[in-house]
Each structure stands twice: as C-alpha cells, then as structure tokens.
Amino acid sequence: MKILVTGARGKVGRAVIDRLHAAGHTVRAASAAPAGLTVPAGVEVAELALDRPETFAAALDGVRQVFLYPEPAGIHELVAAAEAAGVEHVVLLSSSSVLGEDAANDPLARHSLLVEQALAASALTCTLLRPDAFASNALGWARFIGGSMPVRLAYPDAQTAPIHPEDIADIAVAALTGRGLTGKSLTLTGAESLSFREQLAVLADTLGREIPVEHITRAEAEQEMRRHLPAPMVTSLLDLWEAADRHGPAAVADTTETLLGRPARPFRQWARENAAAFTAGH
C-alpha cells in the first residue's frame, strides 16, 4: 500500500514522511520542487505541484492513501486524478478556520474550505484535520529575536492554542494507517491557550534572554505585513488576531489525548527543540 505525502518540505508533511517510513510503510514524498529534497533512504520522490494538474497522474500512480496540503487551484483535477488512480483515502491538512461563521467569505478559511468541499463531493473517503495555529508560526519572529530587535505586534494579547506540527503528524499517521478515523473531522489544538506575549515569554525563558515586545497599531502592522502577504490575507489575519484578543483564552481540544492516549506537546517543548532558529545568524 503506497502512501503519497504532499508538502514534503512542509513541517507537517516532512514529519509524516519520517513516521510512515520508520513504521515500515511504502512512502512517496511529493513536492512542488523536488530538486534538492532530502528524504530518508527508501522513500521515493515525485514532483507534484497542487496547482499544476499535469503533475498529478505520475505522482498518484499506484497510490492508495494521500496526505494532502490544501490548494483549491486544481483540487477538482486532483480529485479526478486520485479517483482514476484508485486512491481510497485522503487525509487533509485543513484548518480550524473553516469552522468560523463567515468562513466562505474569509480568504484564509476559504482556501481550506473549498478543498474540503471538493473532497466531500468525491468518491474518496477522507479524514479532515483542522488544526488551530501552529507553534511553528513563532518562526516568523525569528529574524527579530535573532537580530535583538523588538517583536512588533498589533495584538500581543491575542490568544491561540498553538499546536506542535508533530502532534498533527502523529494524528495524520494514525488516520493514514488505520480505519478508525475515516470520515472524521478533527479539531486539533495544542495543550494550552497562550497569548503571543506569553509565547514570547516562553521563548525568552528558553533562550535565556529578554525579548522586548512593541505594541503597534493595526495600521502599522498592516503596512509591514503587506510587504510579504497579499492585502486580503493581511486583513484576514489581523481580523483573526483582533477577534482572538477580544475573546480571551482560546478553546483547547482534547483530540490528541483522546486519540493518542497522551497530552499534546506543550509550546515550551517546541521552543526548546527550535531554539537554534532564534539565534543570531541562523
């Protein structure tokens, strides 16, 4: 039974590949840019760009299970190619944002929602993983922390329940290799609700030095974020953080504990494992 894992360079995708391979499964690692991709010996590599349907047939040949990153451009062609190849089950890396009231009109949520809807209309069985914010989003602060600059935030007290990408990978592997999670939609969070300020305090404690936080206006944040992200995405993210700031503690799901019989990895663990990314010159 061959399992195709998309997003081979992604934090979750790579962890899924390593776990499946270590457990003895036959894995094909798919990347939009496979050149230079390093995978464990014995793992096949294929080119699969989720927005380029011409790459689908070869990557899906002989595959029965797929771990899928969401990309609405090309999803209908991907579903058709998967059905034609004999794929049986898809585990989707969706997002908890699809549960928002206005998900259909929110660019971030819509990205995952359209993929969920295309899968629901297909003959494939699915497991939908809907994580809250990733702990690894903290890497966005790395160049400021590494450069001893303050971290500038419009909503420093916005809370999320950041999930360790390896917890998502553990559940993805359970969904790919067993039948118990087929047809399920799983909301996934980390172990605790933490504000951005609290995440930075954990990082400061881990690194053994102060990390100054500068509270900036929404307009200032908007201007900075627009240098790297499209305007609708910036609005969507700032709206999300503004709402999180207003709502207080984020909901913590017990999915990891219920499914895996152990608590979700704490943010502190992620910080310890990734401390090197926050040092100067990294």
Ligand X SMILES: NC(=O)c1ccc[n+]([C@@H]2O[C@H](COP(=O)([O-])OP(=O)(O)OC[C@H]3O[C@@H](n4cnc5c(N)ncnc54)[C@H](OP(=O)(O)O)[C@@H]3O)[C@@H](O)[C@H]2O)c1
CB 159 within 8 A of CB 194: yes
Which residue number, 168 or 179, has a Cβ lying nearer to ligand X?
168
Which stretches of the chain bind ligand X, using CB under 6 A? 6-12, 31-33, 49-51, 69-71, 93, 95, 111-112, 131, 133-134, 136-137
Tokens matching residue 80: 């058709």
- Between vectors from CA 162 to CA 126 and to CA 18, what angle results, nearest 5°? 55
For the bound state, the minimum distance from the C-beta of residue 170 to ligand X, rounded and expressed in Å, comes to 15
Between CA 108 and CA 89 the distance in angstroms is 25
- The b-or-e profile of 5-15 (16+ CB within 10 A means b, else e) is bbbbebbbbbb
DSSP 277: G
How does strand 151-153 pair with strand 213-215? parallel
What is the enclosing helix (H) or strand (E) of 152?
Answer: strand 151-153
Largest Cα–Cα separation, the chain: 55
Which residue number, 212 or 230, has a Cβ lying nearer to ligand X?
230
For the bound state, the minimum distance from the C-beta of residue 148 to ligand X, rounded and expressed in Å, comes to 25
For the bound state, the minimum distance from the C-beta of residue 191 to ligand X, rounded and expressed in Å, comes to 16
Residue closest to ligand X, measured at CB? 10
Which residue number, 35 or 208, has a Cβ lying nearer to ligand X?
35
For the bound state, the minimum distance from the C-beta of residue 274 to ligand X, rounded and expressed in Å, comes to 13
Which residue number, 137 or 148, has a Cβ lying nearer to ligand X?
137
Which residue number, 9 or 218, has a Cβ lying nearer to ligand X?
9
For the bound state, the minimum distance from the C-beta of residue 16 to ligand X, rounded and expressed in Å, comes to 10
